[in-house]
Structure 1
Amino acid sequence: MSADAPRRRTRRRRIILLAAGAAAASLSLSACGDGASGGSAQTRFVQGKDGVDTVKKADRQPAPDLSGETTTGKKLDVADYKGKVVILNVWGSWCGPCIAEAPNFAKVAKETSGKGVQFIGINTRDSEKSQATSFEEEHKVPYPSLFDPTGRLMLRFPKGSLNPQSIPSTIAIDRHGKIAARSIGPLTEDELRSMVKPLIAEK
């Protein structure tokens, strides 16, 4: 055995521990929750009575890099949709509230597709793409979803922004690529429309 072998083992162990810590952090979103939220001077968002938190146009932060492979194996970059309102829905096939809201998202996505709105899912905590695609087929989801089994995309949202905090969460990005609104927990059709309509009206 070489003199460097114990050192290499220690280094390898450290790398494994760091990777495990990152994975644990990425799974810190509460599953299928109705996480509490509220406004403050630091976060600069306003908690709406309809459960949709919003940010004034001047206070919005840019959305992070949200790119990768979809559940069907295609490349997708949210930044490519700049100029459109983007509605991001964080979901998992195992999540009861996600199943409940799926028809609402499918309906409103179809209603608004001709109005400059693009719906995109972020599928998380499903270990196999087949779990996600089965869900999409069953619930007739008409838009693509990024495949994010470890939740790494959610960790990219800046501190103090309207970041996803539970599954499901929904984030609205304005036409300029900035985070404009968020809802934590499942949405009805009307709640979803109340999130989308003001952003469609913005210039």
Structure 2
Amino acid sequence: MYADTLSATAPAPPEGVSVAKRGDVIAPFEVAGLDGDAIRVPTAHAGQRVLVNIWASWCGPCIEEMPELDRFAGEQGANGVQVLGIALDDAAAVRDFLQRIPVDYAIALDAPGPADAGVRLGNPRGVLPYTVLLSPDGRLLKQRIGPFAHGEIDGWVAD
């Protein structure tokens, strides 16, 4: 579906940056919370399943799925699947975007590039949106490229 956005080859990640594969425990890394505090992935949500969505304010399919992510996050409560959005974008653009389309789940920032959060979570080509489901022990359970349609996340997380 989004194959036209793929490049023929992805640049190799820098030395020391691991690209997770399904079943791997994620090597911990930090991203900046929108409030400026660092969020350590996956340890910030240790003991809980986490849906991590990599997006950008300029990505049309990302924008389309945000209400669905927000709906899902709102239904989870403190003990359900936690949702973390990581924008590969600039802080001012993300804040402006969230003024127009607010969400109630945590948003973090990362600089796009060969060592960004998406790469570390198994998406070296950088196609957006990109979503992963992490187990309570930080293992990569599922990966998805492309947006979720209304109601689709529930089944994806349950499978």
TM-score (norm 1): 0.61
- The count of corresponding residues between Structure 1 and Structure 2 is 139
Query: Which of 110, 121, 136 is the equivalent residue of 1:148?
Result: 110
Do structure 1's residue 180 and structure 2's residue 158 form an aligned pair? no
* Paired residues of 1:35 and 1:184 also in contact (CA < 8 A): no
1:29-51 Cα offsets, whole Å, 9 max, x none, are xxxx7249xxxxxxxxxxxxxxx
1:80 alignment partner in structure 2:
44
| Aligned ranges 1:1-203 → 2 under 5 Å | 34-35=2-3, 60-78=23-41, 79-124=43-88, 126=89, 128-151=90-113, 152-157=116-121, 162-163=122-123, 165-198=126-159
The Cα of 1:130 is off from its aligned counterpart by: 1.3
Greater C-alpha radius of gyration: 1
* Paired residues of 1:104 and 1:187 also in contact (CA < 8 A): yes
Separation in 2 of the partners of 1:63 and 1:101? 25
- Structure 2 letter corresponding to 1:180: L
TM-score (norm 2): 0.76
Separation in 1 of the partners of 2:107 and 2:129? 14
2:8 alignment partner in structure 1:
none
1:103-134 Cα offsets, whole Å, 9 max, x none, are 0011001011244311011111x2x3011122
2:12 alignment partner in structure 1:
none
1:146-201 Cα offsets, whole Å, 9 max, x none, are 211224223324xxxx5465110111001121000111111113221112234xxx
Q: From the two aligned structures, give the one with the greater helix fraction.
A: 1
Separation in 2 of the partners of 1:155 and 1:183? 13
Separation in 1 of the partners of 2:158 and 2:75? 11
Q: Root-mean-square deviation (CA), in Å?
A: 2.3
Separation in 2 of the partners of 1:190 and 1:95? 21
Unpaired runs of 5+ in structure 1? 1-32, 37-54, 199-203
Separation in 2 of the partners of 1:92 and 1:107? 19
